[in-house]
Amino acid sequence: MNNDSQNSIPIIPVSDVPSRPLNEDNEIFQNSKDGVNMGPSNRNKKSVAVKKLEKRIIRLTAQAITDFGMIEDGDRVMVAMSGGKDSFVLLDALRTLQKRAPIKFDLVAVNVDQHIPNFPREALEQYFKDIGVEYHIEDQDTYSIIQRLIPEGRNVCSLCARLRRGILYRVAGEMKCNKIALGHHFDDAVETFLLSLVYEGRISCFQPVTHMTRTGVDQIRPMLYAGEGRIANLAKALALPIVENP
């Protein structure tokens, strides 16, 4: 791919390395006894640390988008928002790139409310409103289906994900989105590769871009180059309203 193309997002190539979790004992992240950050110098240090981390993830995201031609001029990209740290950080990175890129593309954050008990729908909806992103919450009671089909105590994640994915494909068509951005990262790719190798005896992994022939929609994974450690650190530093898995 020619990175000098007018339809590419300009980036400076970088390489990713494993990152260590944030040290909560570091003075950058400590608060005073009254709960207020300790002095202007520490607030500045925290600001610099967070900005550096965010910039790193944005650059890695731009690198993957450019390398694999994930987003083009005129695209309407659905960001699949599960409410986990990966989807929140992905949305943050794509919104930043949307403002900087020489191409025009739309973003719409989409969450599927599957009626899982204690799911904080209102908090998620308020977050979308606060940041000013176009959003849609699709109301689909798949939880009752899962309860009916899966015996108590068994892992429901696989069926839950399949049902959610099918709903996202349908909603993408209804909302005129030609791309669905997923929050898979480098660690997910490695894990998928190893599981396939160990349990199936074959070398396989998900693709950066997958064209779904039945729907005409492309699945894209813009955070493929970013490690989970950095993503988790940024989500914590930005105090994103992460939805915990049930």
226-239, pLDDT tens digit by residue?
999 999 999 999 98
Report residues of the chain scoring pLDDT below 50. 1-44
Enumerate the β-bridge partners of residue 111.
137
Q: What pLDDT, on a 0 to 100 scale, did the predictor assign at position 155?
A: 63
Q: What pLDDT, on a 0 to 100 scale, did the predictor assign at position 146?
A: 79
Q: What is the pTM of this model?
A: 0.76
Q: What pLDDT, on a 0 to 100 scale, did the predictor assign at position 86?
A: 95
Q: What pLDDT, on a 0 to 100 scale, did the predictor assign at position 66?
A: 96
What would the DSSP string read from start to end of 83-128?
A: SSHHHHHHHHHHHHHHHH-SS--EEEEEEEE---TT--HHHHHHHH
User: Which ranges of 175-223 would DSSP assign to H, the alpha helix?
Assistant: 186-195
